[in-house]
Structure 1
Amino acid sequence: MNDSMDAQVRRTARMSDERIAALVGSTAEADLMGRILATSPANVRELVDEPGLAPAPSSGRGRLRPTRRRLVSLAVAASVGAAALFTVQAVQQDEGGQVWAAYAVEVAEGAPRLLVDDEDWSVEYANEFEPDRGSMDFTDGTHELWVTWSSTWDLELILNDRRDVAVDEETVTVAGQEGTLLTYPDDEYAVIWQHGDNVVEALTLGGVEESTYRDLIASIHTVDVDTWLSALPQDVVRPADTQAVLAELLADIPLPDGYEITPPAGAVTRHQLVHNVEREAVCAWVTEWVRAADAGDQAAVDVAATALGGARDWAVQDEVEHRDEEFWANIDSIVDDGVLPGGRELVISGDTEVEGWQVVFCV
C-alpha cells in the first residue's frame, strides 16, 4: 500500500458510527453495510429486501470511487439496489448547441457545477450523480483532485470529522466562497466549504506540493449547465444498455449459485462498472469459499477455489487498471495453499467489526 492510500485509510477509518450515518445517508444504511459484511452472497438479496432496510442515497468519503482503490462502497460491493444510471449524452444537437436529457439537466441544476480552469486538468471520472449529490475526479495525468458534494451533508459535522486527523487549517477562498483548508500528513490537502445548498470537499488523491494545490483550488470556478455537462466523461452507460453491458462483462465470469450483480446507483462509467464487477465477483467467491470451509463442504471449497483460480483469465481483466501483484498473491494464497489472507480475526472498519479477510477482498 502506498503512502497516499495509507493516508486515505487513516482518515476514513476514524469515522464514528454517528458520522458514518450522517455521511453515508442514514443509520439504516450504516447498519445495513455492517450486516452485509457478515452475510453470505446468497442471502444478500433477502437481507436488502427486509422492511425498513432499503439503503438511503449516499456519498462522501465512505464512497470513494471504486476504481483502483480498496475503499469501495460496501453497498455496491454487496449488490445493494439498482437505479437508473445517469447519462451525460445529448439527446440531440442543433445550431443552438447541446440539448441534454431531462435527468442530466436536473442533476446539473442541483450540482455546484465546479470545474478546474487549467488546460492541463480534466475530468477523469464522474461518479454517483444524483440531484442531491455527486463526485468528480480531476487529473493532470500525475495528480488527482477528488471533488464531492451533497446537499444533505452538515458542514460542521464534515469539518469536525476531518479535523480529527488534520495537522493544520486555515481559511481560504474557493469558487467565490469562504472555505476551510485542511492539511493532512503525507502532503495531502482538502478544502471544505458551503456552496449554495451543497457542502463541497476538494481532496487530493496522492501527494502534491502545497503551492500546486493552492493554485488548483484558486482555479476552481462555477460554470453553466451546458459547459459542465460537456466536460463530463462520455463513456457513461445508458440506462437502456446497462443490462446488456453487465451481461457482456459477466459472460465468462461464474458466480456462486443464487448470486447476482446489479449496477450501482447514480452515474457510472464503463470503466467503473468493469472494476465493480471484477471486485464484486472476487469478493463473492471468497465469501463462498469461507462459507464452505466453515461448513466442511470440500466440494464447494473446490468450486470456489477453481473460480478464483480462473479470475486472471476473465475478459474484464483486459479493462482493469492498476491491479497490483499483492492482489493476485492473495488469490493464489487461497487457491494454491488454502490459506485465507487477512484471517478470521475481527478488525475495526470505521466502528464496525469485520473479519480481516473481508478488508482484503471486499472493502
Structure 2
Amino acid sequence: MTEEHLDRMVRDADPYRPDVIGHLDGARQSLLEEIVSEPTPGRVVEPSQPRSRARRAMVRRFAGALTAAAVLTGVVAASTMLREPPVDRQAAPVDRPSASTPVVYSPVAMKAAEKNPRLLINQPGWRATTVYGFAEQQGTIAFSNGGRQLEMNWYPAEYYHDFYADRLNVSPPEPVRVDSWPGELFRYSAGDFAVMLRPRDGVFVELRTGGRWSRHEFDRVITAVVRVDVRTWLAALPPEIVTPERVDAQAAKVLAEVPLPPGFDAAALGDLGTNDSYQFGAEVTSRVGCAWIAEWLRAKRTGDDAALQRAADALRSSHQWRVLHEMNEQGDWPEVFWRIADEVAASGPPAGYDSALGCD
C-alpha cells in the first residue's frame, strides 16, 4: 500500500462529496470528520478544544475497530473505515423480548451496558449492524434498513457545548424529542440530518443519518427510537454481535493459529465491551500486535537476539492469520496491520505505529 494510495483513499472517502455520500454509513462520516486533514468546502470539522483528547481516544478505539487511522510516514489513512456496509438481511424488528422467555446475562455484560445510552429503533426492518464502545463513555451503534442507516454516537458530556457550537454552523437548530429526551435537529442537506440529545448521565448522544432519507422518513423513524433497559438492549442485538459473555468463544476463534506474545492474557479481552465481529477482530489483533511490538522493543533494548527473532517471526506470520484474511474483504485494517508488522520485523516500528494500531 503506497502513500499515494493512502492519500487517494482519504480523498475519495470525504463524506461530504456528493458522489460518495451514498456509499458511506454514518459511522464513517462521523470519524472522517475527525481525522481527514485536508479541509473541504462545506465539510464540518469537530471543535478544536476536545480534538486533542477526544480524537486521540477515537483514533485509538477506531484503530482497533472501525478504522486504522494510521499516521504512517506523515500520512493520515482512513483505511478500515472504508469497509463495505454490512449486508442488510431485513431482520425482524428490534422489539422488546417476550417476558415469557427470560435470558440470563453475565454481570460483565450487564455492567457494560448499564454505563451507556441504550437506544433502539422500535420499528420493523431495522437491524444493528455496527456496535462499538459499550465499555466507555464514547461509542457507536448503527442501525441499517435497506439503503438507510441511522447511527447513534455518544461522547462525554464535557464536549457537548463545543459540538453544539460547531453544529450551529450547519443550520439553525430545531427542537425535537427522542423518547422524551430533549435535543436539537440540524440539517446538513435536504436528506442528511443530525440530532444532538442533551447531556444525560454523563454523556450526550448524536443521531446521524446515512444513505437515502427524506425529512418525513426521518421524523417517522426518530419517533420510534426508544430508550430501553439493559436486558432489552442486549436481547435486541443480533447473534453476530460480540457481547461480553460471548468474548471467550469469539476470542478463541480469532486467536486460532495466532502466536501469542509472552504474558498475553486472553481473559483480559473481556473489557472490550460490545462490538460487531469485524471490530472485535481488529481490537484483538491490535492487542496482539502491540504486545509483540513491545516485546520486540524490549528484546532490542536488552540485546536478547532470540526474543527479537521470535517477535519478528510472529509479526511476519500475521500474513497467514485467518482472522485478518477474513476481515480483508470488509476493510483495510489487515493491510495497515501487515504494513506495520513488516516494517517492525525488518527494521523496527515506524513513526506513528502506536496511534495506527491503537497501542498508545
Asked if TM exceeds 0.5, the reply is yes
2:331 counterpart of 1:327: no
Q: In 1, distance between residues paired with 2:324 and 2:256?
A: 13
Specify the SS of the correspondent of 2:182.
strand
C-alpha distance in 2 between matches for 1:219 and 1:277: 35
Change (3 A) 1:291 1:204: farther
Out of 184, 192, 198, the position equivalent to 1:194 is 198
Deviations 1:196-252 (CA, angstroms, capped at 9, x unpaired):
6574423448x656x558843651222665765542223455766644543443242
1:67 is aligned to 2:94: no
Q: Deviations over 1:269-305 (max 9, x none)?
A: 5714322211221222233334444555554443222
In 2, distance between residues paired with 1:127 and 1:231? 15
Deviations 1:172-203 (A, max 9, x none): 41424432345679x98642213865744234
Residues 1:361 and 2:353 aligned together: no
Partner of 1:216: 218
Distance 1:297 1:184, change over 3 A: farther
Residue matched to 2:20: none
2:183 to 168, 176, 179: 179
Equivalent of residue 286 in structure 1, options 293, 301, 315: 293
Counterpart of 1:163, as a letter, is A
* Identity, % of aligned positions: 24
Tell whether the 8 Å contact from 1:67 to 1:275 is kept in structure 2 after alignment.
Answer: yes
Q: Given residue 327 of structure 1, which amino acid in structure 2 is its aligned partner?
A: V
- The match for 2:160 among 158, 161, 169 is 158
SS, match of residue 219 in structure 1: helix
Query: Which of residues 316, 321, 330 is equivalent to 1:314?
Result: 321
The whole-number CA distance in structure 2 between the counterparts of 1:160 and 1:15 is: 7
1:255 aligns with 2:260: yes
| Residue 253 of structure 1, CA deviation | 1.6
Structure 1 distance, partners of 2:208, 2:140, is 13
After superposition, residues 1-363 of structure 1 pair within 5 angstroms as 1=10, 2-3=13-14, 4=29, 5-9=31-35, 14-16=48-50, 20=53, 66-70=64-68, 96-101=99-104, 113-116=118-121, 119-129=124-134, 135-140=140-145, 144-149=149-154, 153-154=156-157, 157-161=159-163, 163-164=165-166, 167-169=169-171, 170-175=173-178, 176-182=180-186, 190-194=194-198, 197=201, 199-204=203-208, 208=211, 211-212=213-214, 215-216=217-218, 218-220=220-222, 221-222=225-226, 225=229, 228-235=233-240, 242-261=247-266, 262-265=268-271, 267-269=273-275, 271=277, 272-293=279-300, 297-317=304-324, 319-320=326-327, 322-324=330-332, 326-327=335-336, 330-331=339-340, 333-334=342-343, 337-338=346-347, 340-341=349-350, 343=351, 356-362=352-358
Gaps of 5+ in 1: 25-29, 34-59, 73-93, 344-355
Indicate if the aligned counterparts of 1:66 and 1:275 stay in contact, CA closer than 8 A: yes
Q: Which runs of 5+ in 2 are unaligned?
A: 1-9, 15-28, 37-44, 71-96
Contact persistence 1:134–1:149 (CA under 8 A): yes
Q: Which amino acid is the alignment partner of residue 289 of structure 1?
A: W
Query: Which region of structure 1 is more displaced relative to structure 2, 117-126 or 223-232?
Result: 223-232
Paired with 2:296 and 2:168, the residues of 1 have a C-alpha distance of 40
State the number of aligned residues.
287
> What amino acid does structure 2 have at the position aligned with 1:288?
E
The whole-number CA distance in structure 2 between the counterparts of 1:260 and 1:107 is 20
The amino acid of 2:129's aligned partner reads E
CA distance in 1, matches of 2:188, 2:139: 23
Contact preservation (8 Å) 1:236, 1:267: no
* DSSP-derived class of the 1:136 partner: strand
SS of the equivalent of 1:146 reads: strand
Superposed CA RMSD in Å reads 4.7
